[in-house]
Amino acid sequence: MTPLLTRMPRPPGLVPEVRRRLAQLLDEAEAALPRDQEAARASLVQALRLLTQAATNPLPEPSVHGGLVGWQIRRVVAFVDANLDETIRVKEMAAEARLSLSHFSHAFKLTFGEPPLAYVTRRRLARACEMMLAGNAPLSRIAHDCGFYDQSHFTRHFHRRLGMTPQRWRRLHAEGPSD
């Protein structure tokens, strides 16, 4: 069995120590799954908590050359998080950073490791996961509150990024053991 560390893509914004610990937890879960499902579940819960903590502190380090500087990062992240329930245009994000559209797009990708709209989608999905963990709101409401056009748009992006439907994810992450 190949460890997940060698197969896992490097998520942008995760410091090497967090990335290593996350890979270790996933490897432990994969190894424990055939013999001890409860231990595998515990490792996956720890990995989820680690990812949630990383998602709540999404600020990358300011770039040395060519990327966004600290104040630009803070303004853009605050703008995105405050407007997740609305349409967010790259032009508006560039205006927050006081850069031209093309300069902003290039600097953003250098800083965050992904294009601006991919970052917005990732933040929307993170908020949706938080909302699903926090309550029992219908997925259609969560989709709308997180800026997706409708539930099918939300489900498409969720499945593409997380490999399962939001309903299945919600069931897997429900509190308490499943008997």
Same domain, 118 and 73: yes
Name the residue among 32, 13, 31, 25 with its Cα closest to residue 50: 25
Instruction: Look at the block and give the residue holding tokens 């290039």.
Output: 106
- Rounded distance between C-alpha atoms, residue 78 and residue 57, angstroms: 12
Same domain, 18 and 77: no
Last residue of a domain, which of 56, 71, 90?
56
Take residue 92 and report the two structure tokens written for it: 């508006």
Same domain, 78 and 155: yes
Same domain, 83 and 157: yes
Residue 6 lies in a domain: no
- Rounded distance between C-alpha atoms, residue 50 and residue 22, angstroms: 7
What pLDDT, on a 0 to 100 scale, did the predictor assign at position 50? 64
107: containing domain? 61-168
Q: Looking at the 3D structure of the chain, how many domains does it have?
A: 2
pLDDT category of residue 61 using cuts at 50, 70 and 90: low
pTM exceeds cut of 0.75: no
Same domain, 47 and 104: no
Q: Mean pLDDT throughout 58-70?
A: 71
Summarised one tens digit per residue, pLDDT across range 4-49 is 433 344 444 555 566 667 777 777 777 777 787 777 777 777 677 6
Residue 176 lies in a domain: no
61 vs 84: which has the higher pLDDT:
84
160 vs 41: which has the higher pLDDT:
160
- Rounded distance between C-alpha atoms, residue 26 and residue 37, angstroms: 13
pLDDT at 140 over 90: yes
pLDDT at 94 over 50: yes
Mean pLDDT, the chain, whole residue set? 81
Residue 177 lies in a domain: no
Same domain, 94 and 153: yes
Residue 173 lies in a domain: no
Last residue of a domain, which of 27, 56, 85?
56
What pLDDT, on a 0 to 100 scale, did the predictor assign at position 4? 40
Of the listed ranges 62-71, 101-110, 112-121, 153-162, the one predicted with least confidence: 62-71
- Rounded distance between C-alpha atoms, residue 60 and residue 69, angstroms: 10
We report the CATH number of the domain holding residue 135 as 1.10.10.60
pLDDT category of residue 53 using cuts at 50, 70 and 90: low
Same domain, 31 and 66: no
Same domain, 52 and 65: no
24 vs 147: which has the higher pLDDT:
147
